[in-house]
Structure 1
Amino acid sequence: MAPELGKIGAWLNPAHGDEARLKYAVEAETLGYGTVWLGVGVTPVAGLDLVERVLDATESITVATAIVNMWTNPATEVARSYRRVVARHPDRFLLGVGIGHPESITSYQRPMDKMVEYLGQLDEGGVPADRRVLAALGPKALALAEARAAGSHPYLTVPEHTRRARRALGPARLLAPEQTVVVDPDPVIARRIARHFLTNPYLSLRNYVNNLLSLGFIEADLAEDGSDRLVDALVPHGTPESILARSVEHLAAGADHVGVQVLTDGWADPMPGYRALAEVVRETPLT
């Protein structure tokens, strides 16, 4: 069985650096977040060193990777590191894996074959299917997540995608989308921060672009630095109350958990946003 995630988690971007994220994770636990998601990107992290450090420094929060890139992290090494970590912390680690995006990897070929091969190697290495999630957006990847993992951790999506993903995964699989937000009531400032994040690089990546087009956005929404409609849908902004409302939409659409990524100007400390959001979460029943 997958570790308990709670309803809302803190998703920490690797741009903040490992030392800062270790500190943020410790505070996230005190604030009541159920899970801390450690963003990875394409960086080789097969040793899972930061995961182990965060687990050592905390008592109960679940730690998840988002995501260990299959192209840059050999499955045999990841499995070996997984066994080391769970020997010390048997019920608090969820391994998130995925193939990333083709533009970042020169050898990126036949992604479905790679995912199937990689999951098989994790099986052989002793990583149980119910202790891993697959980054999945499209139907084929979601079907693989349903068959070979605890579920899926989709990134940069909207509640409509969550509804589709729940139908694809069925009722029994874990669905834990990421939700990027800007905790700022000024829409001009918030959209500037969100646009900088989206255009570098997501609006130029074909897997994200194709997914957004399938969800009803049009080419004009994706042109240049994105329409206000697109920015507001992908990166809700405003008060903590309005931002929590978007997470509630994901939960109502079938998500079990939402990993909230708080964006800040210039990658400043995101914890003020997490503190404000946590206060609202404590006052709001989530089902």
Structure 2
Amino acid sequence: MAFDSLGRFGVWRSYTGFTPEEAREYEQLGYGTLWLGGSPPADLPVVESLLAATETITVATSIVNIWAAPAKEVAESFHRIEAGFPGRFLLGVGAGHPEHTGEYRKPYDALVEYLDELDAAGVPTQRRAVAALGPRVLKLAAERSAGALPYYVPSAHTAQARATIGPNALLATENKVVLTDDTSEAHSIADGTVGFYLGLTNYVSNLRRFGFTDADLSMPPSDRLFDAVVAHGTPEQVVARLTEHLDAGADHVGLQVLGDDYLAALRTLAPLLAARS
């Protein structure tokens, strides 16, 4: 899979939140990839309906949880999708969070074993990617897949990730978006989502690497943390924030628009993002 098939910007939502009708509109608006979050199960539902409703847009998982979705079954789903829609699906996998997994063990070892199983089942290296934050898993992502899928990260992480994985691996990051220049309203919409991830040790540990302190990482999240992980403001300000990831070395940014008016926001941002692409 060529990385340019992802486009520069995509749409990140729970896999249950996409409809074929919206997928068609995202494609027409110029978004290059639909990122299916929320740990889709091994049979990868929804993917084919979204691909069937569109012509060129890529569909990607962000991510399939290795503890919940057996590699053999995921590989079978990959091949089924590939047979119907060659070259338009990217399999993103990851180790999830210890707080949500009863049988959690060393995630690095489990990821290696999972990638070994995908190899054995014939899932091509360049058609999969790995959720990665820290240096060790970032390097694994670059060595054993197309590249890395960071989540909930500031642009400083993007720069460090690019230095870690080298110039040739995929780096596709997520960024939350609230399209309002009312800061209080932005916090009202996004504080709950930002705060949810502060209960997950892997994200908190990663943010500490970039200088965030207990004062930033408690609820309500500090303005400093909020501004680092949520692009908010006018459309132009939001696009400038998203572009910081590209300037730092990302190949692609997936927009997770928060709030009820997500579709209106994506429509507003699309022409400005196209100009930056």
Please report the TM-score for the alignment, with normalisation by the length of structure 1: 0.93
| Paired position in structure 2 for 1:159 | 155
| Paired position in structure 2 for 1:255 | 250
- Mapping of 1:130-149 within 5 angstroms? 130-149=126-145
Whether 1:187 and 2:187 are equivalent positions in the alignment is no
Does the aligned pair in 1 maintain the 2:139–2:164 contact within 8 Å?
Answer: yes
Whether 1:209 and 2:207 are equivalent positions in the alignment is no
Whether 1:276 and 2:268 are equivalent positions in the alignment is yes
| Paired position in structure 1 for 2:9 | 8
What is the rounded CA distance, in whole Å, between the counterparts of 1:281 and 1:110 in structure 2?
39
What displacement does 1:101 show?
Answer: 0.9
What displacement does 1:214 show?
Answer: 0.4
Does the aligned pair in 1 maintain the 2:43–2:74 contact within 8 Å?
Answer: yes
Secondary structure of the residue aligned to 2:56 is: coil
What displacement does 1:56 show?
Answer: 1.0
Does the aligned pair in 2 maintain the 1:63–1:93 contact within 8 Å?
Answer: yes
| Paired position in structure 1 for 2:96 | 100
**What one-letter code is carried by the residue in structure 1 that aligns with 2:200?**
L
Does the aligned pair in 2 maintain the 1:12–1:21 contact within 8 Å?
Answer: no
Question: Higher mean Cα deviation, 238-247 or 76-85?
Answer: 238-247
What displacement does 1:24 show?
Answer: 2.3
- Mapping of 1:160-179 within 5 angstroms? 160-179=156-175
| Paired position in structure 1 for 2:70 | 74
**Could you report, residue by residue, the CA deviation over 1:53-85 in whole angstroms, capped at 9, with x for unpaired residues?**
111111110111100000000000000010000
What displacement does 1:269 show?
Answer: 4.6
Q: How many residues align?
A: 276
**What one-letter code is carried by the residue in structure 2 that aligns with 1:274?**
L
What displacement does 1:103 show?
Answer: 0.3
What displacement does 1:21 show?
Answer: 3.6
| Paired position in structure 1 for 2:215 | 220
- Mapping of 1:106-117 within 5 angstroms? 106-117=102-113
What is the rounded CA distance, in whole Å, between the counterparts of 1:186 and 1:108 in structure 2?
41
Q: Which runs of 5+ in 1 are unaligned?
A: none
Does the aligned pair in 2 maintain the 1:2–1:150 contact within 8 Å?
Answer: no
Please report the TM-score for the alignment, with normalisation by the length of structure 2: 0.96
Does the aligned pair in 1 maintain the 2:126–2:145 contact within 8 Å?
Answer: yes
What is the rounded CA distance, in whole Å, between the counterparts of 2:161 and 2:182 in structure 1?
32
What is the rounded CA distance, in whole Å, between the counterparts of 1:67 and 1:225 in structure 2?
27
Secondary structure of the residue aligned to 1:87 is: helix
Whether 1:64 and 2:49 are equivalent positions in the alignment is no
